[in-house]
Amino acid sequence: MINNQVVFNNVLFPADVGGCGHYRMRFPYWCLQTIAKNIRIVESTKLIGDPKFFQDVRMVRLQRQVNDAQCNYFLKFLKPLSEQFGFWLIFEIDDCIQYEAIPKYNMGRKAYENKQFFANVKNMLQASDIITVTTERLRQFYVETYEIPEENFLVIPNYLPRWWIGEAYDLDKRMNSFKENQKKPKIVFPMSSSHFDMGNNNDNIDDFTDMCEFIRGTYKDYDYNIIGHAPKLIEDLIKDKKVKVIPGSDLLNYPRELVMRDFNAVIAPLRDNVFNRCKSAIKLHEGWSLGYPVIAQDLECYNKHTDTLFKDGNQLQNQLDNIFKDKNKYKKIVKNNRNKIDYGYVKHPNGLWIEKNISKWHELFTLPQKTIVLDYNRYNEQQSKTNNVIKLDL
* Domain extents in the chain: 8-157+357-383, 167-343
End-to-end CA distance of the chain: 27
pLDDT given for residue 225 in this prediction? 98
3 state SS for the chain: CECCECCEEEEEECCCCCHHHHHHHHHHHHHHHHHCCCEEEEECCCCCCCHHHHCCEEEEEEECCCCHHHHHHHHHHHHHHHHHHCCEEEEECCCCCCCCCCCCCCHHHHHHCCHHHHHHHHHHHHHCCEEEECCHHHHHHHHHHCCCCHHHEEECCCCECHHHHHHHCCHHHHHHHHHHCCCCCEEEECCCHHHCCCCCCCCCCCCCHHHHHHHHHHCCCCEEEEECCCCHHHHHHHHCCCCEEECCCCHHHHHHHHHHCCCCEEEECCCCCHHHHCCCCHHHHHHHHHCCCEEEECCHHHHCCCCCEECCHHHHHHHHHHHCCCHHHHHHHHHHHHHHHHHCECCECCCCEHHHCHHHHHHHHCCCCCCEEEECCCCEEEECCCCCCCECCC
- Fold match flag (8-157+357-383 vs 167-343): yes
Quote the CA–CA distance of 249 and 173 in Å, as a whole number: 22
Query: What is the dotted CATH code of the domain comprising 8-157+357-383?
Result: 3.40.50
Which backbone phi and psi does 232 adopt, to 5 degrees? -60, -35
The number of beta carbons lying within 10 Å of the beta carbon of residue 91 is 26
Residue type, 82: S
Query: What is the mean pLDDT, run by run of 10 residues, along the chain of 394 residues?
Result: 76 93 96 92 95 96 96 98 96 95 93 93 97 98 96 98 96 97 97 90 95 98 94 96 94 94 97 97 98 98 97 98 96 98 96 96 94 51 38 35
The reported pLDDT for the residue numbered 386 is: 36
Range 167-343: architecture per CATH: 3-Layer(aba) Sandwich (3.40)
